[in-house]
Homo-oligomer: A and B are copies of this chain.
């Protein structure tokens, strides 16, 4: 007699969970509780899951073994299949984590084993946290290299016909900084291959994939991507289908709630994805500012050196740029508003936000200098030329057409509220974290048209009562949350003029 598998409609978010009835006639749930993890085997398959105990037999019968969505998918057996359970031995690679906790420097093979187990969801969330914290205290550059290679080796890979595949990446944290959608068409128009995969927002109000989706389909597989890049030199798609560095997603599911964001993890995360994506040349955008991820020159230099060392070792030519992270870039925060800014820049609209345009030109210029014909500082002039002569806009239109129409028409959120200046004076600071949170509470990125539209930037004079920014939302509850949060503190510092 064995337990029968039952898929429970419970999504436990990146952790495999199994449910055993307390009154199970075959196993005593209590025996398994202390070590929390069980091994499930049957039909030639075997997975490990965290155990929950079920007292209510309307959820599942006593002789069933309930599985969370992820566990069910991983085990891959239909409901009713007989399975056995046993106390799970912890993943073998956890010995390496224990060695790391004790202060060891781990060899490359240890990182390969850890990453394989992470990607296969063999670690519980507390085990992932143990690894992250142990590694965050003390990781050598060669270990970051091992980790990067291990992460790139697990999961999908993109292969390209060209010897030069350029890419850009920003470490994030600055709302409105949607430069990829300007950089890609400029670079593609010049003739370099730039197959850009982007993420959706996890905790920010918009990722590039969310914003591009206002203008075009982004949910494309590797074959479609290859076709588009062959024809247009560039694309702007969501990276999810490529399954690049899946261990990174598992780590992120614990890094975010714990707010652990070390240089070592950042470098391994970004470069493993670029390596798997087949990038050969990379410009890295590292904004520095009082509310950015990097707050001081020291942290910038430390991160830059680590990026340069690892990129060099894995054979990626990288240019690391320090950029202005003192305030949001552009005016819009949220997918629809950011797409509007991007189009204004591409269209040469006089209303286009100047900082977004200049920031994008700087990055595009550095990428163009990977072209031997443009070395020695001539990249930015070429980028400006391609933007001003309409070539970038034309290329963007072709990329949008090639990717197909967006899955749904987006419009600006119907509810709006202006946040006003508390006094006459001048804007001296804008808190990136707070403005992101307002936009997020307003419903971005789930509602494309939700977010924040900035009317003032640092240095602008304001009169008391004059609007600083406008909140847009779709849903009443979100609107209330966002306005309430902005009312507590707007995120703007307005200093009286002397």
Give min CB distance, A192 to chain B, whole Å. 34
**Cβ contacts under 8 Å, A289 to chain B:** none
Instruction: Output the least CB separation between A361 and chain B (Å).
Output: 32
Q: Counting CB contacts under 8 A, is A26 at the interface?
A: yes
**With A30-B446, A125-B125, A130-B133: A54-B10 Cβ-Cβ less than 8 Å:** yes
Check if B257 sits within 8 Å of A126, measured CB to CB: yes
- Which candidate, A11-19, A114-122, A216-224, A459-467, is the interface stretch facing chain B? A11-19
Q: How many whole Å from A256's CB to the nearest CB in chain B? A: 5
Contact assessment for B129 and A127 in the assembled complex, using a CB-CB cutoff below 8 Å: yes
Q: Which residues of B contact A127 (CB under 8 A)?
A: 129, 257-258
Given A59-B9, A103-B137, A126-B128, check contact A37 B257 (CB 8 Å): yes
Chain B residues with CB below 8 A from A11, complex form: 22, 52-55
Beta-carbon nearest neighbor of A30 in chain B: B446
Residue A162, interface by CB 8 Å: no
- Give complex CA distance A435, B27 in Å: 21
Whether A203 contacts B59 in the complex (CB less than 8 A), given A26-B477, A129-B127, comes out as: no
Please indicate the chain B residues that have their CB under 8 angstroms from the CB of A477 in the complex.
26-27
Is A90 in the interface zone, CB < 8 Å from B? yes
A56 touches which one: B9, B19, B133, B253 (CB < 8 A)?
Answer: B9
Which of B10, B28, B33, B257 interacts with A59 by CB under 8 Å?
A: B10
Q: Which residues of B contact A136 (CB under 8 A)?
A: 101
Within 8 A of B (CB), among A42-71: 51-56, 58-59, 68-69
CA distance A19 to B54 in the complex (A): 14
Question: Does A35 touch B at the CB level, under 8 Å?
Answer: yes
Task: Check A51 against B10 for contact (C-beta < 8 Å).
Answer: no
Residues of B within 8 A of A53 (CB): 10-11, 13
Chain B residue with minimal CB distance to A29? B11
- Residues of A142-183 contacting chain B, CB below 8 A: none
A209: shortest Cβ distance to chain B, in Å? 15
CB-CB < 8 A to A54: which residues of B? 9-11
Asked if A298 is an interface residue, CB under 8 A from chain B, the answer is: no
Q: Mark interface residues in A87-106 (1 if CB within 8 Å of B CB, else 0).
A: 00010001000100101000
A59 to B54, CA, bound (A): 12
C-alpha spacing A5/B259, complex, angstroms = 30
Chain A: how many interface residues by the 8 Å CB criterion? 56
Note all chain B residues with C-beta closer than 8 A to A132: 130
Interface of chain A: mostly helix, strand, loop or mixed: mixed
Q: How far is the CB of A127 from chain B (nearest CB, A)?
A: 7
Against B, the Cβ 8 Å flags (1 = close, 0 = not) of A437-467 are: 0000000001000000000000000000000
Bound together, the chains give a CA A98 to CA B255 distance in angstroms of: 12
Contact of A133 among B19, B58, B101 (CB under 8 A): B101
Give complex CA distance A51, B464 in Å. Answer: 43
Which residues on B sit within 8 Å (CB–CB) of A52? 10-13, 68
Q: Per a CB cutoff under 8 Å, which of B27, B134, B259, B446 touches A137?
A: B134
Q: Report how far A127 CA is from B256 CA in the complex, Å.
A: 12
Q: Name which residue of chain B comes closest to A53, CB basis.
A: B11
A101 touches B260 (CB 8 A): yes
Interface hits, A233-269 → B, CB 8 Å: 253-254, 256-260
The answer on a CB contact under 8 Å between A59 and B8 is yes
Whether A126 lies near B10 (C-beta < 8 A) is no
Which residues from chain B contact A259 at a C-beta distance below 8 Å? 90, 98
Chain B residues whose C-beta falls within 8 Å of the C-beta of A94 in the assembled complex: 258
* A231 at the binding interface (Cβ < 8 Å): no
Which residue in chain B gives the minimum CB-CB distance to A95? B259
Nearest B-chain residue to A1, judged by Cβ:
B477
User: A31 contacts the other chain (Cβ, under 8 Å)?
Assistant: yes
Residue A202 at the chain B interface, CB threshold 8 Å: yes
At the interface, yes or no: A497 with Cβ under 8 Å from chain B?
no
Least CB distance, A95 to chain B, in whole angstroms: 10
Per the bound structure, the CA–CA distance linking A56 and B58 in Å amounts to 12
Could you pull out 28 A-B pairs where Cβ atoms are within 8 angstroms?
Answer: A9-B59, A10-B19, A10-B52, A10-B55, A11-B22, A13-B36, A13-B52, A13-B53, A26-B477, A27-B477, A34-B256, A35-B256, A37-B257, A58-B58, A94-B258, A98-B260, A101-B137, A101-B260, A124-B257, A126-B126, A126-B254, A126-B257, A126-B258, A127-B257, A130-B132, A130-B258, A133-B134, A137-B137
Counting from the closest, the 7 A-B pairs by CB-CB distance are A9-B56, A9-B55, A126-B129, A129-B129, A11-B53, A133-B133, A125-B126
